[in-house]
Amino acid sequence: MSIKIACGQMEVVAGRPDFNTKKVLQLISQAKNEEVDIILFPELAVPGYLVGDLWEQTAFLEDCKTFGQQIIAATEGITVIFGNVAIDRKRNNKDGHIRKYNAAFTAQNGKLISTEQGLDFVAKTLLPTYRMFDDSRYFESQEMLLKDKRVSLKNGMGSVAVTIRGCEYKLGILLCEDSWTENYPLSVPSMLKQGGAQILCNLSCSPFTLKKNSKRHLVFGKQAKELQLPLIYCNSTGIQNTGKNIYAFDGQSCVYGPDGMVKAAASMFEEKLLTFSLDKESAKIRAYSAEDELISTEDDETAILYKAIRYGTEHFLKQTGIKRMVLGASGGIDSAVTATLFTDILGPHQVLLVNMPSRYNSELTKNLAQQLAENLGCCYTIVPINDSVAHTVEQLYTPIHNYTTNRDFKVELNGLMYENIQARDRGSRLLAGFSAAFRGGISCNANKAEITVGYGTFYGDLIGLFCPLGDLWKHQVYRLGKYINEYVYKRKVIPELIFTIRPSAELSEEQTVGKGGDPLIYTYHDYLLRAFVENWEKASPAEILKHYIEQDLEAFLGCKEGLVSLLFPSHAAFCQDLEHWYNVFTGLAVAKRIQAPPVLSLSPRAFGTDYREAQLTTYYSLEYKEMKDKLLVQERLF
Amino acid sequence: MSIKIACGQMEVVAGRPDFNTKKVLQLISQAKNEEVDIILFPELAVPGYLVGDLWEQTAFLEDCKTFGQQIIAATEGITVIFGNVAIDRKRNNKDGHIRKYNAAFTAQNGKLISTEQGLDFVAKTLLPTYRMFDDSRYFESQEMLLKDKRVSLKNGMGSVAVTIRGCEYKLGILLCEDSWTENYPLSVPSMLKQGGAQILCNLSCSPFTLKKNSKRHLVFGKQAKELQLPLIYCNSTGIQNTGKNIYAFDGQSCVYGPDGMVKAAASMFEEKLLTFSLDKESAKIRAYSAEDELISTEDDETAILYKAIRYGTEHFLKQTGIKRMVLGASGGIDSAVTATLFTDILGPHQVLLVNMPSRYNSELTKNLAQQLAENLGCCYTIVPINDSVAHTVEQLYTPIHNYTTNRDFKVELNGLMYENIQARDRGSRLLAGFSAAFRGGISCNANKAEITVGYGTFYGDLIGLFCPLGDLWKHQVYRLGKYINEYVYKRKVIPELIFTIRPSAELSEEQTVGKGGDPLIYTYHDYLLRAFVENWEKASPAEILKHYIEQDLEAFLGCKEGLVSLLFPSHAAFCQDLEHWYNVFTGLAVAKRIQAPPVLSLSPRAFGTDYREAQLTTYYSLEYKEMKDKLLVQERLF
């Protein structure tokens, strides 16, 4: 006998059990029309996942329970498995808050179906507490739930048995991390199989991360194959955030056959009722719609990136109610790519580009900014900052009275101060003013390399509603620009010259297009900085220096071969550069990141809640100092 | 026989094992001179506690190990118990990172002393994962350590036996949270006693929180008494931060006798070798210095608060290398208190007050600002913003070209926009400029009520190096001001009128001293907002409304009786006010907090890492809506 199963791949809105329940009920109704037997919904489909410390508000928890009951009541003639928070007011979490579980409920014909241990729900066993995940902060695990019932984990991983048209199916229910078995001392899927599970059902709320989907296919496919069980993966779409980080959820719900192959899959970033049939005897799985058989490939990283950025940005704007955007347009690549992104999402009338030249801005970049606006059909204006900067400088020379000595004195301004005055004049005076008046959000156009080293001005170019390119290295921004011209607009909306001029802040005589540019050499520093931030075991100056000495640094970093010796004429120069960037990365840049706008997160590690940091003083390990001393002594000897 | 024990209450610098080890070695040497038998050091005394994801950098971990070995090597003739990270490179944490424990090492005569189970160290059993604590993110527990050795927790909580002058002492070693037994399903101190421990030694790294010390005396005293064991508590001083939150560590190391009473205690916020004798037979404990017998009382909350703020601020400035501060001086209470604080710490020459009047500022507040500067002997200057604001407004009216319609248009400015232009002009243009030129940090003068509802301007008055009053409600700021006049300066440095005028932003005709003030009625809203943020189970609008209906809201909130009926002429008015502030608290204010400066954290819950939040849409529970509807229908009927 074959049954029809569906994944309710839906947009989960964090903190809105009312919206989410409405969506769940709609999808149940649709599934009934399509004669679905079992429908799965994502992890925490009712409350949402990333709600911060709202988990500590009882009224919110109670509502999630009430909405959960509405879902259970709507299961006449269908089996529904959905994620919700489970609360136990008689018990506490370890921190004294009301006991909470990240749970999966199974219901049929208006009633909850208990697990084989008589529990009303299955709780998440593995609670991820890394990156942006704070599960241990809010939830207790299935292990704790069983302990309270005096059942061991080994005997407590039974399945949920549901009967469909007279035939019993034992469902092994997992929540997201429970399937990511790599580093844990126990394997939940294996334990479920041992407990008699015939079909594994994984409810997830798993955010998009570059390359994660291929990794999941490997891990989950292998699991299905080894256990010889079908494995259904139901993930949410939409966006959720942790304050500092905005995550897009890509869905990509799918079903793996006992051979480890994907048999049906829903598209990325789309709400979808993915349906397929499963035959119990033959274990054959068949997708109902041809397009559902396709697995999205990640061949073109840039195409996927654009999709994720566009989706994440569009949904974040929608959630915050922002219909227009204001951007500083400098004629550089970062602002150009950002402008094309917002225009693609909001339409050209809704995007205002402001060019704010000082006496250091070249005709070249001014023309490029204007050309970009013209190509996009955006709103555009030019507001020079010379007068206001001069006025600020004049005012900063106002005599200051010292009331102890009863004497007046004046401050002195240097070049760097003058540069920052310009940046703040553009950001906090003009862009912020236009933002309010044009009723649009400010886009922060910073890229990840700049954010890593704090190459940007506090309250200047670092302001904004959010930062869509903040998790992309400069080389990724260039690639994205090329992609946008070729595939999104299918014409050169970003003028060709923007790709070829050397990036420059144009804030002083020395730093102008043609004369000099950014101090970062992106072909190398992009990769060096990435190793500090994104490597799972974070690279340290010691590790970098070791690879430099062993002459395999380029391979380690993933940058172009031969680059290092080309860039650094001596070991001393190499170390000086390394220390300079490590100093700023761990120094003032941290202070800047604390006050930076939220970042749309795409990489394995984005600044913010994902990469947590304290303001510390920069520390070099003993090994680094030793290696460096030896190296420099050698160099001096020769 | 009696032995001499010491607590090495030391300033731990997060992320600096080099500095910390130097300090540990100094204190060991001092203790040897004083013929101390056993010396305790704080939890994670070598690496520091709040280092963020630096725990993922192997070079840092390896150095902590090396420095730990230096400490062990220095234990000739003395027993040393110190906190350090323990690593096990053969195992992984659950997230795949190198296995780490928050551990206590015991060493004597140059060698490690193993636990009764043959382990090199004791690991923290209870890993706090609430408030700013992320222990589960980084560390595995004693339970996991024992599991790997196939020892159950019950049998693994033995003590560390040290021999001093021929006599054996069984030390039960705990790490911080291990003694806070209230909500955990197991009691580490009891298990240690069962394991034979004769003296409990708690190594802590416990930040200052208002009223925590009295609570600790209750919990720890009770524990010592129940178990009939002496309990030594060794805590660190200094400051550490999580990026968004700066914590002062108050030390207050002490020893509880088996009668539950404090027998010797070190002062708050001071580095100190606290020594006392302990007689094994009689269990008598005697402090060596008379002043160590005093327990700091928390009778005067404001005195303690000032101590903590002054200490935290001074040390944060020292760590970040800031020697001067720049403040906007408006003539209001927040800036006045902040100015007195920085002047007390840095001296008047190092503090620059800038008064930046627009046409809305009264002569009264301008005079008060100047009077304050004069009283303090600070540096002071007046820089009007009328011209620059007019220039900005003029520039915002620059025609904008729409490249799709090929037409020009202009934006419209309203009153609120005009107010924010003034605030940003002061903050990001002038204060930020003076900050660079005067080489001082900018102080953010916001209080917690303002931060809670986002009553402040992005890139305006919300900018700064950090926010010293950001965890104080307005009524606490007033009290602090009174205290500073009376006890710190012992004269009215803050002019009396500053305490009596109604707070006002002075940004429009309506909002001027004499005419109108802040929309927050602090005597009520301070307490309402506190319930949303600081209550352990967060208050929701439903809970507030329930107490309002039951007429015990003032008691619930802790504000003045009779206030609510005085403020709100009708139920509708009450609900409108409640919803207004709940909307902004959960709405735009969240976005502002994401980009706000770090807050010096004092309360049970400070915004930032301590109170985690996502940008969500505001949600009212079903119960709230139901209660409100009923209430308003009733009102309309009468």
Which of the residues in chain A have pLDDT under 70?
A: 290, 293-299, 512-516
Report chain B residues whose CB lies below 8 A from the CB of A243: 590, 593-594, 612-615
Q: The tokens of A366 are what? A: 């001014």
Q: What is the DSSP string of A11-77?
A: B--TT-HHHHHHHHHHHHHHHHHTT-SEEE--TTTTT-S--GGGGG-HHHHHHHHHHHHHHHHT-TT
Quick check: A559 and A530 in contact, CB under 8 A? no
The pLDDT of residue A296 is 54
For the domain made up of B2-292, give the CATH fold.
Nitrilase/N-carbamoyl-D-aminoacid amidohydrolase (3.60.110)
Contacts of B425 in chain A (CB under 8 A): 429
Residue that is written with structure tokens 């508590």 in the block? B233
Chain A partners within 8 Å of B541 (Cβ): 59
Superfamily of domain A301-510: HUPs (3.40.50.620)
| Residues in chain A within 8 Å Cβ distance of B134 | 129, 137, 612
Chain B touched by A134 (CB under 8 Å): yes
Distance between first and last Cα of chain A: 81
Task: For residue A318, give the chain B residue with the closest CA.
Answer: B617
Cβ separation A96–B536 shorter than 8 A: yes
Task: Assign B583 to helix, strand or coil.
Answer: helix
- pLDDT value, residue A405: 97
Residue of B nearest to A180 (CA): B95
d(CA B535, CA B538): 5
B463–A463 C-beta distance less than 8 A: no
Residues sharing a CB contact under 8 Å with residue B579, sequence separation 6 or more, in sequence order? B541, B620
In the stretch 570-599 of chain A, residues with CB closer than 8 A to chain B read 590-591, 593-598
pLDDT tens-place string over residues B380-394: 999 999 999 999 999
**Taking 70 as the threshold, does the pLDDT of residue B299 lie above it?**
no
Do B58 and B98 form a contact (C-beta atoms < 8 A)? yes
Q: Where does the pLDDT of residue B637 fall: very low under 50, low under 70, confident under 90, or very high at 90 and above?
A: confident
Residue among B14, B51, B59 nearest A541 (CA) = B59
pLDDT of residue A514: 63
Greatest distance between any 2 Cα atoms in chain A = 95
Residue B94 pLDDT more than 90? no
Whether B424 shows a pLDDT value over 60: the answer reads: yes
B385: Cβ contacts below 8 Å, ≥ 6 apart? B356, B357, B358, B422, B425, B426, B430
Give the angle B502-B508-B512 at the CA atoms, nearest 5°: 25
Packing angle between helix A474-483 and helix A301-320, nearest 10 degrees? 90
Hey, are the CB atoms on A612 and B404 less than 8 Å from each other? no
* A612–B53 CB contact, under 8 Å: yes
State the virtual CA torsion across A17, A23, A25, A26 in degrees, nearest 10: 160
Phi and psi (nearest 5°) for B327?
Answer: -135, 140
Judge contact between B11 and B43, C-beta under 8 A. no
Closest residue in chain A to residue B351, using alpha carbons only: A402
Using a pLDDT cut of 70, give the percent of chain B over it.
98
Name the strands in the sheet holding B599-601, side by side, starting at the edge strand that comes first in the sequence: B237-241, B245-250, B599-601
Q: Which residues of B touch A391 (CB under 8 A)?
A: 387-388, 391
Cα(A164)–Cα(A2) distance, rounded to whole angstroms?
10
CB–CB of A93 and B183 under 8 A? yes
Contacts of B540 in chain A (CB under 8 A): 57-60
Query: Does B296 score more than 80 pLDDT?
Result: no
Minimal Cα distance from B16: which residue of A? A619
Taking contacts as CB-CB distances below 8 angstroms, the residues of chain A near B405 are 349
Q: What is the pTM of this model?
A: 0.96
pLDDT over 70 (residue B130): yes
* Cβ-defined contact of B614 to A14 (cutoff 8 Å): yes
Question: Pick from A629, A533, A545: which is nearest to A579 by CA?
Answer: A545
Neighbours of B633 (CB within 10 A): 10
Domain ranges of chain B: 2-292, 300-518, 521-638
B17-33 vs B58-73: helix crossing angle, rounded to 10: 10
| Confidence grade of residue B617 (pLDDT, cut at 50, 70, 90) | very high
* Contact predicate B340/B313, CB 8 Å: no
Name the residue facing A60 among B66, B409, B621 (closest C-beta): B621
Contacts with B412 (C-beta within 8 Å, 6 or more apart), sequence order: A437
Provide, as residue numbers in chain A, all residues whose Cβ is less than 8 Å from the Cβ of B129: 94-95, 129, 134, 136-137
Name chain B contacts of A400, Cβ cutoff 8 Å: 352, 379-381, 438
The edge-to-edge listing of strands for the beta sheet with B262-265 is B160-164, B167-175, B199-203, B231-234, B254-256, B262-265
Amino acid making up residue B216: R
Pick the CATH number of A2-298 from 3.40.50.970, 3.60.110.10, 3.90.1300.10, 1.10.3470.10: 3.60.110.10
Q: Is B442 on the interface with A (CB under 8 A)?
A: no
pLDDT tens profile B182-241: 778 889 999 999 999 999 999 999 999 999 988 999 999 999 999 999 999 999 999 999
Q: What is the mean pLDDT of residues B18-32?
A: 98
Q: Does A93 touch chain B (CB under 8 A)?
A: yes
Whole-angstrom distance, CA of residue B561 vs CA of residue B548: 12
pLDDT band at residue B294 using 50, 70 and 90 as cut-offs: low
The reply to whether residue A54 touches residue B538, judged by beta carbons under 8 angstroms, is yes
Rounded CA-CA distance B228/A617 in Å is: 43
Question: Could you give the maximum distance between any two Cα atoms of chain B, in Å?
Answer: 95
What average pLDDT is seen over chain A? 95
Which residues have a Cβ under 8 Å from the Cβ of B21 and sit 6 or more positions away? B46, B67, B70, B71
B50 near B14, Cβ under 8 Å?
yes
- Tell me, yes or no, if B417 comes closer than 8 A to chain A by beta carbon: yes
Render pLDDT for B303-342 as a digit per residue (tens, 0 to 9): 999 999 999 999 999 999 999 999 999 999 999 999 999 9
Contact A537 B388 (CB under 8 A): no
CA distance, residue B183 to nearest chain A CA (Å): 5
Q: Among B615, B617, B624, which would you mutate to test the A interface (most chain A Cβ atoms within 10 Å of its Cβ)?
A: B615
Interface check A637 vs B, CB under 8 A: no
Average pLDDT for B436-440: 97
Task: Give residue A604's pLDDT.
Answer: 95
Alpha carbon distance B489, B491 (integer Å)? 5
Query: Rounded to an integer, what distance in angstroms lies between the CA atom of residue B459 and that of residue A463?
Result: 8
**pLDDT confidence of residue B422:** 96
Contact B537 A98 (CB under 8 A): yes
The partner residue sitting opposite A617, judged by closest CB among B319, B416, B438, is B319
Pairing of strands A111-112, A160-164: unpaired
Of B147, B614, B624, the CB nearest to A52: B614
CA distance A597 to A456: 13
Q: How far away is chain A from the Cα of B349, in angstroms, using its nearest Cα?
A: 7
CB-based contact, A129 to chain B, within 8 Å: yes
Cβ contacts of A380 on chain B, cutoff 8 Å: 400-403
Provide the 10 A C-beta neighbour count for residue A112. 16
CA distance A153 to A190: 12
Tell me the shortest Cα–Cα distance from A424 to chain B, in angstroms: 6
Interfacial A residues in 366-385 facing B (CB < 8 Å): 373-374, 376-383
- The C-alpha atoms of residue A476 and residue B437 are separated, in whole angstroms, by 37
Residue A612 touches partner B, C-beta closer than 8 Å: yes
CA distance B82 to B205: 12
Distance from CA of A264 to the nearest CA of B (A): 30
User: How many angstroms separate the CA of residue B181 from the nearest CA in chain A?
Assistant: 10
Q: Do residues A494 and A337 lie in contact, with contact meaning Cβ atoms separated by under 8 Å?
A: yes
Query: What band does B295 get if pLDDT is binned at 50, 70 and 90?
Result: low
Considering only the beta carbons, identify the residue of A352, A543, A594 that sits closest to B59.
Answer: A543
Per CATH, domain B300-518 is 3.40.50.620: yes
Provide, for chain A, the percentages of residues in helix, strand and coil under a 3-state DSSP scheme, each rounded to the nearest 5.
40, 20, 40
Residue B153 C-alpha from the chain's centroid: 33
Please give the Cα distance from B63 to B590 (Å, whole number): 39
The answer to whether the Cβ–Cβ distance between A594 and B458 falls below 8 Å is no
Chain B neighbours among A 192-211 (CB < 8 Å)?
none
Decide if pLDDT at B497 tops 60. Answer: yes
Residue from B67, B411, B435 to probe the interface with A (highest A Cβ count within 10 Å): B411
Contacts of B416 (CB under 8 A, 6+ apart): A436
